[in-house]
Amino acid sequence: MNKVSGVKKIEPTYYNSRFRHGVDEKRRVQIPAKWRPQRGGVELTLILWPREGVGHCVRVLPPSQMARLMQSIDEMPNGDPKKAVLKRIIGSGSAQVEVDKAGRICLPDEMARGAGLQNEAVLVGLLDRFEIWSPERYEKVQAADADLAPDAFKLME
């Protein structure tokens, strides 16, 4: 809490690390405590996200990142047919969810099936958002990431 104003300052959330959790019969998955919104009523956006050669995962965007995604699509030229495709696919294939009192989110059935999520999930931090992977698909994406990592880190030099 800010001692001067008496107002609690909301700190940014950084989605780092990796967690493995069970998925229950209602398709609920536990969100790590440090990744949960700091105030109630915040909706996270779930999007079935393709990864070439590996399959889909569920990408989870906090409100700020969903706003950025919408802005980047809106900035595309209106004449670009990919703009409408992205709006349709993301608009029709996404869902807003809230974290329940127990710290879980419920994955829509079609989305869970599309991402291959059954009994277990791997939650992977992407710093400003996170992804939910089936353990099998995540092993494949880890191998692909390892191949690209040397060149990726050169971008930061």
Mean pLDDT for all residues in the chain: 92
Q: Is residue 3 part of a domain?
A: no
Q: Is residue 10 part of a domain?
A: no
107 alpha-carbon distance from chain centroid: 12
For residue 109, the domain's CATH number is 3.40.1550.20
Q: Is residue 7 part of a domain?
A: no
pLDDT for 3 beyond 60: no
Q: Is residue 100 part of a domain?
A: yes
Residue 127: strand pairing partners:
15
Which pLDDT score is estimated for 40?
A: 78
Q: Is residue 6 part of a domain?
A: no
* Percent of the chain predicted with pLDDT > 70: 94
Determine the average pLDDT of the residues in 131-138. 98
Owning domain of residue 34: 18-154
Which pLDDT score is estimated for 39?
A: 78
pLDDT for 5 beyond 80: no
pLDDT for 2 beyond 60: no
Q: How far is CA 104 from CA 27, 70, 100, in A?
A: 10, 25, 5
Listed in sequence order, the residues at least 6 apart from 70 whose beta carbon sits closer than 8 Å to its beta carbon are none
pTM (2 decimals)? 0.89
Confidence of residue 11 (pLDDT cuts 50, 70, 90): confident
C-alpha span between 90 and 58 (Å, rounded): 12
Q: Is residue 23 part of a domain?
A: yes
Listed in sequence order, the residues at least 6 apart from 40 whose beta carbon sits closer than 8 Å to its beta carbon are 98
Q: How many domains does the chain have?
A: 1
Q: Kindly report which listed range (22-26, 35-39, 74-78, 137-141) carries the lowest average pLDDT score.
A: 35-39
